[in-house]
């Protein structure tokens, strides 16, 4: 892709130049032309430093070897009600699909503590969706208040009551409800999500342009949905898949410990 039609491209002027032969005889001149100098998103410099952006000979704009999710056209801009840069940045914020796995050896207060930590996150609520994966023995009434309070802040959140002992069904029932997410988050009841973690991942993905596919902390993992989609069926067990992704992402330097 290239930046030619992107509204965030920053342009300067290439100076007029003379065309001369080997005898320094002037054959003509190249008129002053616009040339791209950067971008309002600050991404071109990062791409250039990685060797992923260059102005091809004869071109006036950068060509990228990587997809830029901030690319926007004038047609898109005409439909916005807020400043273009702010609107585009809002659109690319990742959606986190969070599956809270209730544990048979944990109390209802442990589940509540985990949900409270999610609600304390410094992140837009429309960019979060939560599924409580609990078990039938827990009972609907025990988690009803947790769900009701959760739905007041995070719309479309719900609970799934599972039979104990079938991990594949448990995983499938939980994560199929989070299919639109950019990242899948699995957290065990009783554990807490750091309040700034989602903001940090958004910054890592969209500002620093880091290539991290797995973030991990105590009792939780956050993995690119694409990676999960590609690898889950090889393991048929989310935790086994996490172990595999941890190993290969560490080897490829695309892993970050929180």
What's the pLDDT tens digit per position in 103-119? 888 999 999 999 999 99
* pLDDT one-digit tens code per residue, 187-210: 999 999 999 999 999 999 999 999
End-to-end CA distance of the chain: 33
State residue 164's pLDDT score: 62
Residue 53 CA to residue 155 CA, distance in Å, equals 40
Contact (Cβ atoms closer than 8 angstroms) between residue 187 and residue 114: yes
* pLDDT one-digit tens code per residue, 138-161: 878 888 889 998 999 998 888 888
Answer with the residue of higher pLDDT: 223 or 177: 223
- What b/e string do you get for 191-211 counting C-beta neighbours within 10 Å, with b at 16 or more? bbbbeebbebbbebbbeebee
The chain-wide mean pLDDT, for the chain, equals 90
Residue 189 CA to residue 219 CA, distance in Å, equals 9
Lowest mean pLDDT among 7-16, 38-47, 49-58, 91-100: 7-16
State residue 28's pLDDT score: 63
State residue 187's pLDDT score: 96
Residue 2 CA to residue 208 CA, distance in Å, equals 20
- What b/e string do you get for 143-158 counting C-beta neighbours within 10 Å, with b at 16 or more? beebbeebeeebeebe
* pLDDT one-digit tens code per residue, 51-91: 999 988 878 899 999 899 999 999 999 999 899 999 999 99
Domains belonging to the chain, first-starting first, are: 9-81 (no CATH), 93-257 (3.90.550.10)
């Amino acid at each position: 892709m290239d930046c030619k039609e992107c509204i965030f491209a920053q342009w300067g002027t290439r100076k007029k130049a003379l065309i001369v032969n080997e005898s320094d005889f002037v054959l003509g001149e190249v008129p002053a032309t616009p040339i791209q100098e950067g971008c309002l998103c600050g991404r071109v410099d990062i791409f250039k430093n990685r060797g992923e952006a260059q102005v091809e000979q004869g071109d006036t704009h950068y060509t990228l070897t990587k997809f830029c999710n901030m690319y926007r056209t004038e047609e898109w801009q005409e439909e916005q009600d807020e400043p273009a840069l702010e609107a585009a940045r809002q659109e690319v914020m990742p959606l986190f699909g969070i599956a809270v796995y209730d544990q048979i050896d944990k109390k209802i207060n442990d589940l509540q503590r985990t949900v409270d930590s999610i609600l304390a996150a410094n992140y837009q609520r429309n960019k979060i969706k939560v599924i409580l994966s609990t078990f039938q023995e827990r009972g609907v009434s025990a988690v009803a208040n947790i769900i009701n309070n959760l739905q007041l802040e995070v719309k479309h959140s719900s609970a799934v009551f599972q039979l104990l002992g079938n991990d594949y069904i448990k995983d499938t029932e939980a994560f199929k409800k989070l299919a639109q997410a950019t990242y899948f988050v699995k957290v065990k009841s009783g554990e807490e999500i750091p309040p700034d973690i989602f903001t940090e991942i958004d910054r890592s993905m969209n500002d620093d342009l880091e290539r991290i596919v797995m973030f991990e902390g105590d009792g939780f993992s956050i993995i690119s949905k694409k990676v999960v989609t590609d690898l889950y069926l090889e393991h048929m067990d989310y935790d086994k898949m996490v172990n595999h992704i941890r190993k290969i992402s560490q080897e490829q330097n695309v892993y970050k410990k929180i």
